[in-house]
Amino acid sequence: MRSTSLLLALVAASALAGCMETQGQRALAGGAAGAIIADAADQNMVAGAALGALAGGATCNAGIGGPCY
């Protein structure tokens, strides 16, 4: 069950990766993905969401996935 949830979260994040153009959109998607992955791994969802949001928001400045507008 956990591996199915994790796989679905990764597929959903990959499918939406091209749609995110602003830093806020990337942070929101990162937070959602972090919470889902943390839940699937039986970890703290709030911490997973916070780390995911930080990682998603940082991709604008790192040049990953194209520029943010």
The pLDDT, as a whole number, for residue 8 is: 74
52, pLDDT greater than 70: yes
Q: Kindly report the pTM of this predicted structure.
A: 0.69
Which two three-digit tokens encode residue 47? 């911490």
Query: CA-CA distance, 42 to 27, in Å (whole number)?
Result: 22
Task: Summarize the confidence of residues 13-39 as an average pLDDT.
Answer: 80
Q: What is the pLDDT of residues 27-41, one digit of tens each?
A: 888 898 899 889 888
Query: CA-CA distance, 45 to 61, in Å (whole number)?
Result: 25
Q: Give residue limits of the domains in the chain.
A: 2-61
The pLDDT, as a whole number, for residue 51 is: 92
Give the confidence band of 25 by pLDDT, cuts at 50, 70, 90: confident
